Chains A and B, each alone.
Chain A
């Protein structure tokens, strides 16, 4: 995805060389690596990518360069709103969204058609359909569901999709208190533990990040799969997938009475505060996020663009018709709350979710209360913030 654009940029800007460094696959490990570089005031790194939850932390710590001087409000409006908001902190903008991700449900069209089922609209429906298919198929290697439940950031994305679609929330941004111990949230978590992991998923998902969970699906061993949009291309590629052409993709289900919620993901480009070449760096950022470049990247990789105009572009929609249906999902994707103390809060939530899911007889209410208490202590630190 990067090689061609880098080559083009270098051709257009003779004398400039872009050096690309690939980090570890796990978002959490990548975060620790990039923040370590920034703490070390590494001047070698001019640009870096940010996961959608990092901007506030990086802005507050003084690691990301404020981009308002380059990235005007008018220009920001050309992009989807949710990612832009995720990149703003205290009135300034710190990143430019490269592509957007939102959680989606993938399913085996062939299996659902075989048993004359329509794609599920609610989680309980999904569990029932999976159970029926598993019983009838009699394939000991087939599982009902594959998702990301390892103790890392992706776990938060998966869990918030259940919690929010049940009317609950991770924490209340206005009052700055945790809402993990509210009944809606606890109920959703209990459902995941008892029905999803307990009944239709293989216990191995508790150690899965995106790659492992996707491989289970593309090898034809899972009926339903939750992942980001990139999985569509991989699963439909006959070279990499045994189920090419047999899959469907829909917005995630909800709980009865709630609305399906997709976690907002995606990556942004940011400039390091310690870079000595911020102007030049911006030129590359502008280049990578320009209309032409985004269109080209979307067409070649299938990753969803962040510029609004591209969702009405005939050429794009012809080749990637699914983007039309994803438009609503993207517009309504819910970001995780932006705060400089996101990492400690995330660690507390990861700990809570992972313990509860992995140990079937834990007292969920108790754990939720403890997690909420710990989160509140961290959130309290923000109350001392100097008024802006």
Chain B
């Protein structure tokens, strides 16, 4: 027993080193830095331990509060859209028909495109002078063209559209995998009992799909909380901070303004929110056998 454990440890050692060094250590370091005041452009101020000051500031910072609201709004809007669209797409792809393989491949394309590329692409679509969005809405009548990325109400919508476009297909695939494990016999039995398509959906499909749906929900929520690439390329947080999500705010604080201490507090804040949400989901998922369910 001992020697096999030692052997196992050896097998795991390289992983442990990387994970420890580049994932666990940084998160503790972020925690530590959040208790200091450290400003890179004012090196003569040094590193001063300020205790909870950064967190108090964070709590009372209207920009951070707004940022949290923006981020949560983003999460709460994209998830249902992705799940809904993904489910619809999966249901279509689940039917056996010719060309299904091709459709499945096409559906993978948005997922395969790098986020920065799709960000530039959507930025161009929403352009106020040559964009597809305006062309579809108003044709050649350029005087009525909108500028979605300049409007604090529309800009977040544009980001949401860009995000959902890319991730709904991914969700569709996860759900599709779930759909394909539901045995046909159940549908047949329900059919014999006189169930309509809708009833079949509600009473056979949905309950058996629950684990896959919840899993998709978990991963997508975490990913939505840490959205960065889209905002960086499409709006840089504007206009009027309307798309200033937490990750971007933290990035600006640490890497543009050099306010490492405060930025670390933001980083820890985002981490804690993710952690709390994950734990909440996991409790719900406990019924489904989570330990065997990777991405």
Q: Judge whether B239 is part of the interface by a CB distance below 8 angstroms.
A: yes
B63, B145, B149, B252: which contacts A207 (Cβ < 8 A)?
A: B149
Q: Judge whether B39 is part of the interface by a CB distance below 8 angstroms.
A: yes
Q: Judge whether A261 is part of the interface by a CB distance below 8 angstroms.
A: no
Binary contact readout B36-56 vs A (1 if CB under 8 angstroms, 0 otherwise)? 000111111100000000000
Which residues in chain A, 171-227, are within 8 Å of chain B measured between CB atoms?
202-208, 212, 215
Residues on B with beta carbons closer than 8 Å to the beta carbon of A359: 152, 240
**A62-B257 contact in complex given A151-B236, A207-B147, A207-B149, C-beta closer than 8 Å:** no
Q: Which residue of B lies closest to A356 (CB)?
A: B240
Binary contact readout B149-184 vs A (1 if CB under 8 angstroms, 0 otherwise)? 111100000000000000000000000000000000
Q: Judge whether A355 is part of the interface by a CB distance below 8 angstroms.
A: yes
What interface size band does chain A fall in?
Answer: 35 or more
Q: Judge whether B82 is part of the interface by a CB distance below 8 angstroms.
A: no
Q: Judge whether B194 is part of the interface by a CB distance below 8 angstroms.
A: no
Q: Judge whether B87 is part of the interface by a CB distance below 8 angstroms.
A: no
A140, A150, A341: which contacts B143 (Cβ < 8 A)?
A: A140
Q: Which residue of B lies closest to A140 (CB)?
A: B143
Assembly CA distance A171 to B37 (angstroms) = 24
Residue contact A150 to B239, C-beta cutoff 8 Å: yes
Which residues in chain A, 350-388, are within 8 Å of chain B measured between CB atoms?
351, 354-359, 370, 381-382, 384-386
Residues on A with beta carbons closer than 8 Å to the beta carbon of B257: 343-344, 347
Q: How far is the CB of A236 from chain B (nearest CB, A)?
A: 22
**A343-B258 contact in complex given A207-B149, A358-B151, C-beta closer than 8 Å:** yes
Q: Judge whether B256 is part of the interface by a CB distance below 8 angstroms.
A: yes
Q: Judge whether B255 is part of the interface by a CB distance below 8 angstroms.
A: yes
**A381-B45 contact in complex given A150-B150, A358-B152, C-beta closer than 8 Å:** yes
**A207-B239 contact in complex given A35-B256, A141-B142, C-beta closer than 8 Å:** yes
Which residues in chain A, 1-60, are within 8 Å of chain B measured between CB atoms?
26, 28-29, 31-32, 35-36, 39, 57, 60
Residues on A with beta carbons closer than 8 Å to the beta carbon of B62: 370
Binary contact readout B221-263 vs A (1 if CB under 8 angstroms, 0 otherwise)? 0000000000000001111111000000000100111110000
Residue contact B258 to A61, C-beta cutoff 8 Å: yes
5 contacting pairs across A/B (C-beta < 8 A): A39-B255, A151-B238, A206-B147, A207-B149, A355-B241
Residue contact B147 to A151, C-beta cutoff 8 Å: no
Assembly CA distance A341 to B44 (angstroms) = 13
Q: Which residue of B lies closest to A61 (CB)?
A: B41
Residue contact A381 to B39, C-beta cutoff 8 Å: yes
Residues on A with beta carbons closer than 8 Å to the beta carbon of B151: 203, 206, 358
User: Which residues from chain A sit less than 8 Å from chain B, CB to CB?
Assistant: 26, 28-29, 31-32, 35-36, 39, 57, 60-62, 140-141, 150-152, 202-208, 212, 215, 340-341, 343-344, 347, 351, 354-359, 370, 381-382, 384-386
Residue contact A61 to B40, C-beta cutoff 8 Å: yes
Assembly CA distance A170 to B159 (angstroms) = 32
Residues on B with beta carbons closer than 8 Å to the beta carbon of A152: 236, 238
Residue contact B41 to A340, C-beta cutoff 8 Å: yes
**A351-B63 contact in complex given A61-B41, A343-B41, A385-B44, C-beta closer than 8 Å:** yes
**A203-B150 contact in complex given A32-B256, A351-B241, C-beta closer than 8 Å:** yes
Residue contact B240 to A355, C-beta cutoff 8 Å: yes
Q: How far is the CB of B23 from chain A (nearest CB, A)?
A: 21
Q: Which residue of B lies closest to A381 (CB)?
A: B42
Residue contact B41 to A32, C-beta cutoff 8 Å: no
Assembly CA distance A149 to B131 (angstroms) = 20
Assembly CA distance A246 to B287 (angstroms) = 74
Binary contact readout B110-152 vs A (1 if CB under 8 angstroms, 0 otherwise)? 0000000000000000001100000000000011010101111
Residue contact B239 to A151, C-beta cutoff 8 Å: yes
Q: Which residue of A lies closest to B147 (CB)?
A: A204
Assembly CA distance A57 to B41 (angstroms) = 6
Residue contact B237 to A151, C-beta cutoff 8 Å: yes
Residue contact B252 to A347, C-beta cutoff 8 Å: yes
Assembly CA distance A57 to B257 (angstroms) = 10
Assembly CA distance A199 to B46 (angstroms) = 49
Which residues in chain B, 30-86, are within 8 Å of chain A measured between CB atoms?
39-45, 62-63
Residue contact B239 to A61, C-beta cutoff 8 Å: no
Q: How far is the CB of B107 from chain A (nearest CB, A)?
A: 32
Residue contact A384 to B45, C-beta cutoff 8 Å: yes
Q: 4 additional contacts, CB 8 Å, given A61-B40, A204-B150? A: A36-B255, A61-B43, A206-B150, A358-B151
Residue contact A341 to B42, C-beta cutoff 8 Å: yes
Q: How far is the CB of A301 from chain B (nearest CB, A)?
A: 26
Residues on B with beta carbons closer than 8 Å to the beta carbon of A386: 44
Assembly CA distance A126 to B130 (angstroms) = 29
Residue contact B240 to A358, C-beta cutoff 8 Å: yes
**A351-B40 contact in complex given A32-B256, A35-B256, A203-B150, C-beta closer than 8 Å:** no
Q: How far is the CB of B88 from chain A (nearest CB, A)?
A: 33
**A62-B43 contact in complex given A35-B256, A207-B149, C-beta closer than 8 Å:** yes
Residues on A with beta carbons closer than 8 Å to the beta carbon of B128: 204, 207
Assembly CA distance A185 to B147 (angstroms) = 28
Q: How far is the CB of A385 from chain B (nearest CB, A)?
A: 7
Assembly CA distance A202 to B150 (angstroms) = 11
Q: How far is the CB of B97 from chain A (nearest CB, A)?
A: 44
Residue contact B43 to A354, C-beta cutoff 8 Å: no
Q: Which residue of B lies closest to A354 (CB)?
A: B240
Q: Which residue of B lies closest to A38 (CB)?
A: B40
Residues on B with beta carbons closer than 8 Å to the beta carbon of A29: 236
Residues on A with beta carbons closer than 8 Å to the beta carbon of B41: 57, 60-61, 340-341, 343
Residues on A with beta carbons closer than 8 Å to the beta carbon of B255: 32, 35-36, 39
Assembly CA distance A371 to B167 (angstroms) = 37
